[in-house]
Amino acid sequence: MSKTLLRISNLKTRLGDAGNPVYAVDGVDIEVRKGEVFALLGESGCGKSMTALSAMRLLPPSGTIVEGQAYLGDTSLFDLPEREMRRVRGGRMGMIFQEPMTSLNAVVTIGEQIGEAVRLHDRDSRDAVSRRVVELLRSVGIPDPERRAREYPHQLSGGMKQRVMIAIALAGRPSLLIADEPTTALDVTIQAQVLSLLKDLQRDTGMAVLLITHDLGVVSEVADRVAVMYAGQIIELAETRKFFRQPAHPYSRKLFRSLPSLGNRGQELAVIEGSVPRLNQRFSRCRFRERCDQAQEICAQQAPAWSETALGSGVRCHLFEHLPALSALSGKRATENHAGSAEQAGNLLEVEGLRVHFPIHKGVLRRVIGHVKAVDDLSLSIAQGRTMALVGESGCGKTTAGKGILQLIRPTAGSVRFDGDDLTRLPAGKLRARRADMQIIFQDPVASMNPRMLVGDIILEGMQAQKIGVSRTERQARIRDLLDRVGLSVDAADRYPNEFSGGQRQRICIARALAVDPRFIVCDEPTSALDVSVQAQVLNLLKDLQHQRGLSYLFITHNIAVVSYLAHEVAVMYLGRIVEQGTVEEVLQSPRHPYTQALLSAVPAIDPVLGRSVIRLEGDMPSPANPPRGCHFHPRCNKGVDSCRSAYPDPVRLSQTHRVSCFRIEPESI
């Protein structure tokens, strides 16, 4: 009896018209076995999602399957009439789409949306739909499922919405679950919950999972086998453990060298120069050749064939047998900003008791009945040329804190001293004059740029507002210099934002921030949605700029690996307050607060040999409109004591730089 559940053979999917076709999937072969987790790994635009959509026959109107076969068991998916395919889709094959908010109907309750899938695909439960809905919600770990079934998507957190998507996909009792980037942009704690859920469901039901991702940590956590995809083709296939020990393809190797960590913070991250080649061409050479630092003459002369490296494993590379061991490869040393010099320069920014409360209005007269305490008594300081990372779950107040510091949102209370001036007390005119010293890089570069403006005009806008440059000629020269500094060509100034990749757009935002010659930049999740290789480019750039210009950063993120590589100090935030703060080494290597310990335990381990014990946080973060009495974390803490419920703990100083707000921590002699 065959162990193969899904078999895709020589799949070729074309987008666009026949006159200018784009070969999004070009000869892909995949076999997913019963009961396994098979990961499809690669950067954006390589064809991962299009492969899955082809198997589901959910291509966009311009998409056409021009060649190949796909079998689910003995069923030929491409030969089924659409009516039969609808029964398979959502029945034997379930799919979790990447963005749950756009996949759920905002005006239909959760229970009705899951119930629709039950009625369509689970014949045995059609007479007891409500009971099956509650059963599904309970199986994906949603507490109080009877109440949640009556709620709407906007009433659920991001992690809960993703769990609802999983429940809908499970409604038809599938034998194969396709999960398209199920943890992208989720906090590490929620990501750990979703990954644990997928593993438990896979073990309990015996279904297979086709996991689409660009996150190596996620692959190492859950996958049995991994296929690396590049420019429409599979270029490497191996068992997960073997892949992480010794990747065979130069592209896979460079991905590993692009990963930030505490161990390589003194090195420049490896960067895969260039971008994925355009797929509107026929290739007679290796598709990775232009970006490969190992390329030889043969790579330009012919496309590499598939070479089997072991039973069920292989690689598409001419040179794989002659590549050096991965351990022999190392990144270029980067110049560090040493702590001593930064301390001598003194603090550039000092924040004391910052509060940002938003009023809650009710009724026709808009009476204030309460406040959302987004930031509640936050204090931190950042020295010249240093990076402070602000980490925590979504909704904890990180972005609001950054905007409050910059006075983009006026604080309710507290002081923000920047180079000696209290920004909260400056009148509008003087504050506007100081804006050149303080800039922000927003999380979404697309939303933060006017799509109708040329890149040059986007960068010029800030210089004109701050009266930087005495003439247009001087400003244009400065724009060219800025584009060159962030690694973009000069002709980028005459193009529109939509003509660039995600990493390039983020570089444009960095150039815009630098245009007014700032001393301090708030970086709000600038790498959260970027591929590993593009993330490495942005991190290298930020680090180089800090060294060259003495910039200070407040780096807002939930990516602990980025923190370990880039930051000097880190502050952990929970429900508007900092619960632990110290140097990167103190907080990441010796976390003392239970919340910090839970966050770090949830970070996926890249090395699958090293097991980890994840500290599960029960429930969701409480509402900042009604925070718990006492320590805000105590309802989710497994180490709480009676005093945690009655008062908020004062900070306990463990060293000159390390402090923790927790009743269980005893002060140490300094």
Residue-level pLDDT at 101: 67
253 found inside a domain: yes
- In a shared domain, residues 531 and 560: yes
Provide the residue count of the chain: 670
Averaged over 262-283, what is the pLDDT? 85
pLDDT tens, position by position, 171-222: 989 999 999 888 876 778 778 878 888 888 888 888 999 999 988 888 998 9
pLDDT 10s digits, 405-449: 999 999 999 999 999 999 999 998 899 989 999 999 987 788 889
Mark whether 73 and 40 lie in a shared domain. yes
Q: What is the dihedral of CA 624, 186, 638, 221, to 10 degrees?
A: 180
CA-CA distances (angstroms) from residue 452 to 317, 449, 483, 598?
42, 9, 19, 44
The pLDDT assigned to 345 comes to 54
27 three-class SS: strand
For 141: left if phi > 0, alpha if psi spans -120 to 50, otherwise beta; the answer is left
Q: What are the tens digits of pLDDT across the range 233-245?
A: 999 999 999 999 9
349-351-354 Cα angle (round to 5) = 150
420 shares its domain with 549: yes
On the 0-12 / 13-18 / 19+ scale of CB atoms within 10 A, 120 is middle
Please tell me the predicted confidence (pLDDT) of residue 325: 67
Alpha carbons 428 and 563: distance in angstroms, whole number: 34
Q: Enter the tokens of residue 582.
A: 């110290």
pLDDT tens by residue, 522-537: 999 888 767 888 888 8
Q: If you average pLDDT over residues 570-574, what whole number do you get?
A: 96
pLDDT tens-place string over residues 303-355: 999 999 988 899 999 998 887 766 544 455 544 544 333 344 579 999 999 99
Quick one: which of 514, 527, 517 has its CA closest to 445? 527
Q: Is 382 in contact with 548 (CB distance < 8 Å)? A: no
pLDDT confidence of residue 578: 97
Answer yes or no: is 148 within a domain: no
Same domain? For 402 and 477 the reply is yes
Q: Are 297 and 351 members of one domain? A: no
Would you place residue 2 in the very low, low, confident or very high pLDDT band (cuts 50, 70, 90)? low
DSSP labels, 56-116: HT---TTEEEEEEEEEETTEEGGGS-HHHHHHHBTTTEEEE-S-HHHHS-TTS-HHHHHHH
| Residues 356, 320 share a domain | no
pLDDT of residue 30: 94
Q: Does any domain span residue 162?
A: no
pLDDT of 383 strictly over 60: yes
- The Cα 659–Cα 581 span in angstroms is 5
Q: Average pLDDT, whole number, for the chain?
A: 88
C-alpha dihedral sign at 505, 507, 510, 516: negative
307 and 357 belong to one structural domain: no
Please report whether residue 126 resides in a domain.
Answer: no
Specify the pairing of strand 307-310 against strand 313-315: antiparallel
- Spacing of C-alpha 62 from chain mean position: 29
- How far apart, in whole angstroms, are the C-alpha atoms of residue 195 and residue 212? 13
Percent helix, percent strand, percent coil in the chain, to nearest 5: 35, 25, 40
Handedness of CA 319, 325, 326, 332 (dihedral sign): negative
Model confidence band, residue 656 (pLDDT cutoffs 50, 70, 90): very high
Beta-carbon contacts of residue 331 (< 8 Å; ≥ 6 apart): 257, 264, 267, 268, 269, 270
Cβ-based neighbours of 293, under 8 Å, separated by 6 or more: 250, 254
Q: How far is CA 62 from CA 13, 83, 93, in A?
A: 10, 21, 23
The per-residue pLDDT for 343 is 43
Instruction: Looking at the structure, tell me whether residues 259 and 323 fall in a common domain.
Output: yes
Residue-wise pLDDT for 99-109, tens only, equals 766 788 989 99
- Contact indicator for 315, 248 with CB cutoff of 8 Å: yes
Q: Is residue 105 part of a domain?
A: no
- Asked if residue 410 and residue 294 are part of one domain, the reply reads no
Question: What tokens appear for 112 in the block?
Answer: 């009705």
Query: Domain check: are 286 and 357 in the same one?
Result: no
Domain boundary among 300, 328, 356: 328
Domain presence at residue 337: no
My answer on whether 364 and 306 are in the same domain is: no
pLDDT band at 508 (very low <50, low <70, confident <90, very high): very high
* Lowest-pLDDT choice from 14-23, 47-56, 545-554: 14-23
Supply the range of the domain harboring residue 304. 4-92+174-328
- Whether residues 260 and 407 share a domain: the answer is no
Say what the pLDDT of residue 612 is: 60
Tally of structural domains, the chain: 2
Provide the pLDDT for residue 376.
94
Question: Is 47 contained in some domain?
Answer: yes
> 210 to each of 28, 182, 519, 531, how far by Cα in Å?
14, 11, 46, 20
Determine, yes or no, domain membership for 669.
Answer: no
9: domain CATH number is 3.40.50.300
Pick the last residue of a domain from 297, 328, 359.
328
pLDDT (tens digit per residue) in 541-557: 899 999 999 999 999 99
- Tokens encoding 658: 């390390």
